[in-house]
């Protein structure tokens, strides 16, 4: 378990392991199919105009923010089997995804879990990393070119599942509105993601935890890498609205 926790706290290790896992488990055919689905989703989202689809109120981004970047994610949602109460269940330990340009195939962003250095870790079960500033584990997006990074989180109030709305496919991970909890420029001052305020995950396909393989103590530690696609919309403050009367 210590090895697992240490892995969670190593953002770089997560990205490297993501690349190795995709090669090792031969996801090529699945990823090709999911990329085709992702392209259709991105077209539905009208990425050329950076306009997300209409969504229910609970995952809408508040006025005063605008979309500045859209990425089409192709990757996996990764789960580990753990004891839970009197039973067992698969628990998400990290996504492993690459975001591509919505109107072309340029690699834009890496997506994974990592410690947010701007939020102190309050979980005593999470081991403090040997290097770097300890922080709360958050969903992370790092720009592929300038290494600017954003951390964000969702709550049950900003989550839309297939039981909540027909917009979400059966068997697909939830649509989300994530609130940014930290950003950081890249090592050379790159700041593509540094002004991000909110992120939406929409048009999801696949990615839910398996229904089998985690039913007994003997299954604890089993890992499942479930292919998924999604469209991610990145928002920043709309400065054109600053000072306007309402």
Sequence length of the chain is 246
75-86 residue pLDDT tens: 999 999 999 999
Q: In Å, how far are 43, 69, 70, 234 from 49, measured between CA atoms?
A: 10, 10, 10, 13
Q: Is 88 part of a structural domain of the chain?
A: yes
What pLDDT is recorded for position 186? 98
Q: Is 137 part of a structural domain of the chain?
A: yes
Write the burial class of residue 45 (CB in 10 Å: 0-12 exposed, 13-18 middle, 19+ buried).
buried
Scanning the structure block, which residue is given the tokens 């306009």? Answer: 51
pLDDT (average), residues 46-74: 87
Q: Is 189 part of a structural domain of the chain?
A: yes
DSSP 119-154: S----TTSPPPSSS---EEEEEEEETTT--EEEEE-
Q: Which of the four pLDDT bands, split at 50, 70 and 90, describes residue 117?
A: very high
Q: Is 246 part of a structural domain of the chain?
A: no
Q: Is 131 part of a structural domain of the chain?
A: yes
129-158 residue pLDDT tens: 555 567 899 999 999 999 999 999 999 999
Q: Where are the alpha helices (DSSP H) in the chain?
A: 2-8, 11-24, 28-44
Which residue has better confidence, 145 or 240?
145
Give the integer Cα–Cα distance in Å for 140 and 153: 9
* Structure token pair of residue 6: 């240490």
pLDDT (average), residues 99-120: 90
What pLDDT is recorded for position 120? 87
Q: Is 242 part of a structural domain of the chain?
A: no
Give the integer Cα–Cα distance in Å for 115 and 124: 14
Give the integer Cα–Cα distance in Å for 142 and 10: 14
Cα of 164 vs its chain's centroid, Å: 20
Q: Is 107 part of a structural domain of the chain?
A: yes
pLDDT (average), residues 44-67: 81
Q: Which of the four pLDDT bands, split at 50, 70 and 90, describes residue 124?
A: confident
The structural domain count of the chain equals: 1
State which residues form the domain around 112: 2-237
Q: Which of the four pLDDT bands, split at 50, 70 and 90, describes residue 128?
A: low
Q: Is 244 part of a structural domain of the chain?
A: no
8-55 residue pLDDT tens: 444 434 444 444 444 444 443 344 444 444 444 444 444 445 788 899
What pLDDT is recorded for position 96? 97
197-238 residue pLDDT tens: 999 999 999 999 999 999 999 999 999 999 999 999 999 999
Which residue has better confidence, 111 or 101?
111
């Amino acid at each position: 378990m210590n090895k697992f926790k240490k892995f969670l706290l190593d953002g770089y290790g997560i990205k490297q392991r993501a690349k190795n896992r995709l090669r090792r488990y031969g996801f090529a055919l699945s990823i090709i199919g999911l990329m085709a689905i992702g392209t259709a989703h991105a077209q539905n989202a009208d990425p050329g105009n950076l306009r997300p689809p209409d969504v229910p109120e609970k995952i809408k981004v508040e006025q005063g923010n605008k979309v500045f970047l859209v990425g089409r994610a192709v990757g996996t949602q990764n789960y580990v089997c753990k004891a839970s109460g009197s039973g067992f269940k698969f628990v998400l330990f990290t996504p492993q995804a690459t975001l591509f340009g919505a109107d072309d195939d340029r690699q834009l962003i890496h997506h994974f879990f990592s410690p947010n250095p701007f939020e102190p870790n309050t979980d005593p079960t999470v081991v403090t990393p040997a290097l770097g500033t300890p922080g709360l584990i958050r969903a992370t997006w790092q720009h592929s070119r300038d290494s600017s990074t954003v951390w964000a989180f969702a709550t049950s109030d900003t989550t839309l599942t297939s039981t909540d709305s027909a917009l979400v496919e059966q068997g697909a991970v939830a649509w989300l509105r994530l609130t940014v909890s930290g950003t950081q420029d890249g090592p050379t001052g790159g700041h593509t993601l540094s002004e991000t305020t909110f992120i939406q995950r929409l048009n999801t396909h696949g990615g839910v935890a398996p229904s089998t393989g985690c039913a007994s103590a003997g299954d604890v530690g089993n890992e499942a890498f479930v292919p998924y696609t999604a469209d991610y919309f990145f928002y920043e403050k709309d400065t054109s609205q600053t000072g306007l009367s309402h």
